[in-house]
Chain A
Amino acid sequence: MITQKALSRRTLLRGFGTAIALPALDAMAPAMNSSKIPGKTPVRMAFVYVPNGLDMRHWTPTEEGTFTGELPRILRPLEPLRNEFNILSNLTQNGGRALLDGAGDHGRCCGSYLTGVHVKKTMVDIKAGISCDQIAANQVGSATLFPSLQVGLEDARQAGDCDSGYSCAYTNNLSWKSETQPLPPLLDPRAMFERLFGKGPVLSPEARARQAKYRKSVLDHVTADTKKLQGDLGPTDRRKLDEYLSSIREIEKQFEKAEGENARIDPGMPKPYGVPADFAEHFRLMSDMITVAFQADMSRIVTFLVTREGTSRPYREIGIADGHHPLTHHQGKMELLDKVTKINEYHMQQFAAWMMRLKSIKEGDASILDNSMIVYGAGLSDGNRHTHEDLPVMVMGRGGNHFKGGRRITYRKETPISNLYLTMMDRLGVQTDDFGDSTGRIDGLNLG
């Protein structure tokens, strides 16, 4: 009879103002069953949103079913992961359409993206709907330290006109706690870091700067707990713990580097203290912290607004000085279209690198990516014509050995994207009969 007591999944490394959750360790499983994580393996759900539609010519695989041959240009960074994701075609977000409200597709498409509703055209009394990530967070979020996390890289303004009379609250948020309460994304990596690992309130930029001057690693605060735990672990778990703590330290080092560089680089726009000027570095920092949050089961639900909808951000780092949004109104000019494709590729490169990190982190017999379902996509299909049908939709990960990857699945026209969200919520254990404008669940994703 096995009597060895397992380490609690909720064990924390504690120190002054600090509490660090742990990744899944073999010691958390009963003896003789070391590769199994206790209880049900957590399934994560994330939404990664890119703005202004995509160049669909280079997004959609030409053939139905299993990917054959070379992936389309935008998807090519995902080549090492070609069997880990599906491309879903023909999904529609009707709520993003004008529906008699005139111009403002960017404002509408982002506001409706995860809510499945047609948002109210206003700059004052905003109204959308509860987003699917928040429905999930309300029902299953209590299992983790953070029911959900909202992350972004660009702009968290919550007021003003961001598109033809639509409030910036629509273009700058994905998550909606209620019809009238968006959850702004966290843009500052340090604020995110402190949220994840520090217990105190988020510091002001000035206080943060003072602390930074005398900075210690958060790991320094939990040295005693770490040493004690290491003594109780076997060699495999010790290595896992070392890797995990090293990844946290790596994030801290990235902060220090980014903050140091901020003094030398003029990003051309005001940015809060601690936000890297370099887009790729910012993406990497934020995605690393989401990874740690997944690894330590601190949260299973994330929305990631890569840049705000309708953004005119230039990408000088890849030689594109034009604004993203103006470029998408290319009117068929190949020179401009090519720049749009390059931006789409650049975003995908960052995403692919993150996904490969998730794939590399083992969790029992699988990886974190295997136990995730991460939607990458946009609220517009063709950014030039502002189309809301046949949206670019990718579902990355196997949703806990539930989805079969490596395919393009085409649904019938006008199939609501809400049907996908409903199916994903099922996988997360959320009890709901419908969502937004859903007409049912989608099929075809399953292992079959």
Chain B
Amino acid sequence: MVGVIFDCDMGSRPETALALAVLYGLDGLNECRVVVVSSTRSNLSSAAYCEVVGRFYAGAVSGAFGSFSRTLPVGLLADGAMKDDTPMLTVPLSRKNAEGKPQYEHGIHKLVDTAVAPALVRNALTAQFDQNAIVVLAGPPTNLLQMLKLRDVPELVKAKVKHLVAADPKGAMALAAAGWPTPIYSISPSLGTQVVFPAEAVDKEFAWSTAHPVVDAYKAAKAMPYDSPTSELAAVLYAVRSADKAFALSEPVNGVRQVMLAPEAKDTLLKTFIELASAKPVPKQRFRRPVAADPAKAKPEPSKPAEPVKP
């Protein structure tokens, strides 16, 4: 099963929280393993929120190192001044439950509770089978560019990483220019605006949980209702389901191929996004079923109708 490294700038856009939910949705379906999550947003809350989402989906999170299913710390860029908090981070992190305790637990209170992102991602790659890792970039490429400068890392990336998918063409181009040694794909900007995540889905499809960190972040980020672009969600989905017929590819330009929306695939893609983002956490399985040879057969089952969870 392929391992996914998700490097983002959590806190800058609500779309990123949805993209992480899609990734854990795919993990829950055993289509991938979330190996590492890291953020280029120099902000403790950014890392804390990533950990909150990871813990929320704890049943689906798989440890990359050693035995006992240990999970990895969140990687964070810390290159000087810390960035400001944003409501999409502070609202879920400060939410209290009925007992007055934090609704979402996390263990990130100091910088030393986070990992050095380039070392973390590099170390995570060393634990992957050859050509069995995928990198998703949902933010600036700073962490990955720093990692690429470490000794022997270009060779490591070449051996381990099947491909990299960037939500933003600029990040993809920067990595290509820096010599990223495996195929790079970027999501066409038009795709992200053609398929938008509807506000009503945030209200309706996640209703099975009275406390969902992705919903809390989404609603806090901007005044509701609003729809979100989906470039980052598409980056995650394409990374794992690159054979999905909802996508079409451009010819490579400067080493980067653009991922576009296939004709008449808009509704299908939106449905998939909603199903995956709103999927319930899956209890950890000791033994995972193998990935189907044909990705089409590995299609997720439609999520069940919303079942409100009792507080």
Contacts and interface: CB of A to CB of B under 8 A. Distances in A.
B243 interface: no
A412 B66 contact: no
Contacts of B78: 412
A156 B242 CA distance: 53
A439 interface: yes
A173 interface: no
A118 B123 CA distance: 11
A57 interface: no
Contact of B127 (A90, A99, A439): A99
B118 A413 contact: no
A100 B78 CA distance: 30
B129 A92 contact: no
A111 B210 CA distance: 50
Nearest to A412: B116
A98 interface: yes
B66 A413 contact: no
Interface string B213-251: 000000000000000000000000000000000000000
Contacts of B98: none
Contacts of B75: 414
Nearest to A386: B66
A387 to B, nearest CB: 7
A118 B66 contact: no
Contacts of A385: 66-68, 70
Interface stretch (B82-90, B107-115, B170-178, B266-274): B107-115
Interface string B105-137: 000000111111011101100111100000000
A185 interface: no
Contact of A410 (B65, B112, B118): B112
A413 B65 contact: no
B129 A416 contact: no
Identify whether the interface residues of B are mostly helix, strand, loop, or mixed: mixed
Nearest to B147: A439
Contacts of A388: 65-66
A92 B123 contact: yes
A439 B119 contact: yes
A89 B150 CA distance: 23
Contact of A413 (B115, B122, B150): B115
B151 interface: yes
Contacts of B67: 98, 385-386
Contacts of A90: 112
A8 B177 CA distance: 58
B290 to A, nearest CB: 17
B66 A415 contact: no
B25 interface: no
A306 to B, nearest CB: 25
A388 B128 CA distance: 17
B28 interface: no
Contacts of B115: 412-414
B11 interface: no
A411 B112 contact: yes
A434 interface: yes
Given A412-B111, A413-B73, A434-B151, A97 B116 contact: no
B114 A97 contact: no
Nearest to B149: A439
A413 B112 contact: yes
A439 B112 contact: no
Given A385-B68, A413-B120, A100 B112 contact: no
Contacts of B118: 439
Nearest to B118: A439
B143 to A, nearest CB: 12
A317 to B, nearest CB: 34
Contacts of B113: 413
A414 B127 CA distance: 14
A90 B116 CA distance: 11
A385 B151 CA distance: 29
Given A416-B119, A439-B119, A118 B126 contact: yes
B127 A100 contact: yes
Contacts of A97: 65-66, 123, 126-127
A365 B128 CA distance: 53
A100 B129 contact: yes
Contacts of B111: 412
A291 interface: no
Given A90-B112, A99-B127, A414 B65 contact: no
A175 interface: no
A94 interface: yes
A32 to B, nearest CB: 49
B68 A413 contact: no
Given A385-B68, A434-B151, A413 B114 contact: yes
A437 B121 CA distance: 13
Interface in A69-102: 89-90, 92, 94, 97-100
Contacts of A98: 65-67, 127
B126 A99 contact: yes
A90 B75 CA distance: 14
Nearest to B112: A410
Interface in A276-293: none
A410 B73 CA distance: 15
B225 to A, nearest CB: 39
A415 B75 CA distance: 11
A235 B258 CA distance: 83
Interface string A416-440: 1000000000000000001001110
B68 A415 contact: no
- Give 8 closest A-B pairs by Cβ, nearest first: A413-B115, A414-B115, A413-B73, A414-B119, A94-B123, A414-B120, A410-B112, A412-B116
18 contacts: A89-B112, A92-B119, A92-B123, A94-B119, A94-B126, A97-B66, A97-B126, A97-B127, A98-B127, A99-B126, A99-B127, A100-B128, A386-B66, A412-B112, A415-B116, A434-B151, A439-B116, A439-B150
Interface of A: 89-90, 92, 94, 97-100, 105, 118, 385-388, 410-416, 434, 437-439
